[in-house]
A and B are shown apart, each in its own frame.
Chain A
Amino acid sequence: MNNNIIEINGLRKDYHIGEVTVHALRGVDLKIKEGEFVAIMGASGSGKSTMLNILGCLDTPTAGDYLLDGINVNTMNKDALAKFRNKKLGFVFQSYNLLARTTALENVELPLFYNSKVRSKERKESAIMALEAVGLSDRMHHMPNQLSGGQQQRVAIARSLVNNPVLILADEPTGNLDTRTSFEIMELFQNLNDKGRTIVYVTHEPDIAKFGTRNVLFRDGKIQRESLVTDRLNAREILETLPVENIEEFDK
């Protein structure tokens, strides 16, 4: 089988704070196939974010192997990793991380600025297409502070899409959003996944995890359980049944 986007063996990550060593990851093995929609679950401090950051080549593991799209990432230097992120990866953060006082369009264009092969016309077209894909074509020239949280996260998703990555990584993408908006964001992810996009996201909410195709449960820096989602939720159907007023009821 060679359609593994991610292949991880014996991954460890230690943090040294003064005398103390924190073992954030203590030997993780994981394979993720192309087209999967994986939710990483676990209690706070169980190592989810550490895992995702390593998957996204933002951080380097203390030990273990990591193959991304068939390429050994461990051997790359800082610049090569940046280029790799630019070509292959898309990030969505809990706090959106949009550039302030910069239009939605330009925020989405950002990754392409760092790709010298992309001309400015092409860059703009790709950004417009990505914004259309997240349903924000009418907000292209709005600044982040003129957008709602959900809209800002859509811009961030458009930005993660614009370079046509092999993998989208999202760390608690719905963490700052209300229930309805969370479902809207998950609907967007499900749409993207339906079109074949591989997505890995972190959440600590079991409901949100049910939108994925597979769940990986972390505990104390290790994978405790992996399971395919059998009772998968369809975000669009839920949104249709959800009256706008009664969000709280679903929240319980």
Chain B
Amino acid sequence: MNYSNLFRIAIRALIRNKMRAFLTMLGIIIGVASVIAMLAIGEGSKQKIRGEISSMGTNMVMVMPNMQRRGGVSLGASNSMALKYTDVIALRNEATSLAEVSPEVRANGQVIYGNQNTQTTMYGVSEEYLSIKKLEILSGRFFNSNEIKSMSKACILGQTVVENLFGAGADPVGLTIRVKKLPFLIIGVLKDKGESGMGQDQDDLILAPYTTVQRRLAAIDYINGIYASAISEEKSPEAIKETEEVLRRTHKLKESAENDFRVMSQSELLKTVSSITDILTYLLGAIAGISLLVGGIGIMNIMLVSVTERTREIGLRMSVGGRGKDIMKQFLAESIILSILGGLLGVLFGYLLARLAGSLMSSHAIVKTQAVVLAFIVCFIIGVFFGWYPARKAANLNPIDALRYE
């Protein structure tokens, strides 16, 4: 029997039991749809987070004081003061795989303009900070080295601060705000950047010379962190190593001593987050895969019933010359059609589900071609695998026993 006849006969047999065929397929449809949707949601959130991390800066290398904690208790304040501006100078001079280096000093506080006020963080930084963090000036200008040297009370506002103090879209350059009783001249406004991957508002900030924040606002002699950029993404690992070496030297740490700082890179963060989202995606996919397995067992169940029901038909087909393998092919064709058709509907349904979920979660759900192809291959395998046993059972029947079956 040739293949077009085989499939025609199989399709006819399925149409004879439309409802049953559909219910059998439903298992596969739900299985495939959930696999597709889960993978799409996983992929979508992965790409979203990746995009957000990339927008955080250019090949960023971050240095933080290593605040060791034992049982939730900070072990001495000394560590949080580990970083000094001299470290920044040392990195600028000695770390060849770093392009730019900026200190960061933070001060939280209330900002007042007229009768408006808002709570925000003032970041004391140097000029390099702008390009390291991929920030852009919307209007006005950034401060220069003279203003850093002179501890000038100039500042640049993020969009959230502008909105809170002056209303959305306002251009407050030239106006003066008060931070902890000190007047600051607004010399520039930053472009809107949106939320970070961790749900943090990246526009809720004020930038000022690090000298000003360190001395005039925080009144400290250390810095809270160092932000640098590696000269390229490939150089990121090297940049981390170099940064560690330089800082250990400037901190005069003994061979056996632990680092009193932590170095992280953006690409490392990206890798970590990616691997977490990957694991999550696979986990979701695997859970969905179980329902696909259940769907496959449903096919096997129905095919077994079908073989039993059609035993006399099998006997007749054998009596007019159908060989075991002809009978087997016929039943395999049926189970493959069921699973492939179920897979097709499942992909469609899964795609819609993914889009729905994507719009509900305000992230994109990305249906990858690989996932669709994989779904089809899996469906084909399910069709063959779960159809095999019932088909073999049919093929191994004796013609006369099958004909006599009641």
Binding site for B on A (CB under 8 A): 53, 56, 58-59, 78-79, 82-83, 85-87, 91, 93, 97, 99-102, 110-111, 113-116, 120, 159, 163
Return chain B residues, CB-CB under 8 Å to A79: 323-325
Binding-face segment, B39-47, B83-91, B311-319, B373-381: B311-319
B403 within 8 A of A: yes
B313, A114: Cβ atoms closer than 8 Å: no
Measured CA separation A85–B323 after assembly (Å) = 10
A–B complex contacts, Cβ < 8 Å, 16 sampled: A58-B399, A59-B399, A78-B323, A83-B321, A85-B320, A87-B321, A97-B315, A97-B316, A97-B403, A101-B16, A102-B12, A111-B320, A111-B321, A114-B317, A116-B2, A163-B320
Measured CA separation A86–B326 after assembly (Å) = 13
Chain B residue with the shortest CB-CB distance to A156: B316
Return chain A residues, CB-CB under 8 Å to B400: 53, 58-59
With an 8 Å Cβ cutoff, the count of chain B residues facing the other chain is 24
Given contacts A79-B324, A97-B316, 10 further A-B contacts (CB under 8 A): A53-B400, A59-B399, A85-B319, A87-B321, A91-B320, A93-B403, A110-B317, A110-B320, A114-B323, A114-B326
**Interface residues of B: mostly helix, strand, loop or mixed?**
helix
Instruction: List residues 61-104 of chain B with CB under 8 A from any CB of chain A.
Output: none
Return chain A residues, CB-CB under 8 Å to B197: none
Return chain A residues, CB-CB under 8 Å to B322: 82, 114
Measured CA separation A102–B13 after assembly (Å) = 10
A86, B321: Cβ atoms closer than 8 Å: yes
Measured CA separation A79–B316 after assembly (Å) = 15
Return chain B residues, CB-CB under 8 Å to A53: 400
B360 within 8 A of A: no
A115, B323: Cβ atoms closer than 8 Å: no
Return chain B residues, CB-CB under 8 Å to A100: 16
- B1's partner among A58, A99, A113 (CB-CB below 8 A) is A113
B5 within 8 A of A: yes
Measured CA separation A5–B152 after assembly (Å) = 118
Measured CA separation A83–B313 after assembly (Å) = 18
Measured CA separation A113–B8 after assembly (Å) = 12
Cβ distance B306 to chain A, nearest Cβ, rounded Å:
14
Closest 4 CB pairs of A and B: A86-B321, A114-B321, A111-B320, A82-B323
Measured CA separation A113–B381 after assembly (Å) = 27
Known: A58-B400, A59-B400, A114-B1. A99 touches B316 (CB 8 A): yes
A114, B403: Cβ atoms closer than 8 Å: no
Known: A53-B400, A58-B403, A99-B313. A159 touches B321 (CB 8 A): no
Instruction: List residues 1-46 of chain B with CB under 8 A from any CB of chain A.
Output: 1-2, 5, 9, 12, 16
- B312's partner among A56, A97, A115 (CB-CB below 8 A) is A97
B399, A86: Cβ atoms closer than 8 Å: no
Return chain A residues, CB-CB under 8 Å to B312: 97
Return chain A residues, CB-CB under 8 Å to B1: 113-114, 116
B320, A56: Cβ atoms closer than 8 Å: no
Return chain A residues, CB-CB under 8 Å to B320: 85-86, 91, 110-111, 114, 159, 163
A56, B323: Cβ atoms closer than 8 Å: no
Return chain B residues, CB-CB under 8 Å to A91: 319-320
Return chain B residues, CB-CB under 8 Å to A101: 16
Instruction: List residues 261-315 of chain B with CB under 8 A from any CB of chain A.
Output: 312-313, 315
- A115's partner among B317, B319, B321, B325 (CB-CB below 8 A) is B321
Return chain A residues, CB-CB under 8 Å to B325: 79
Cβ distance B279 to chain A, nearest Cβ, rounded Å:
51
Chain B residue with the shortest CB-CB distance to A115: B321
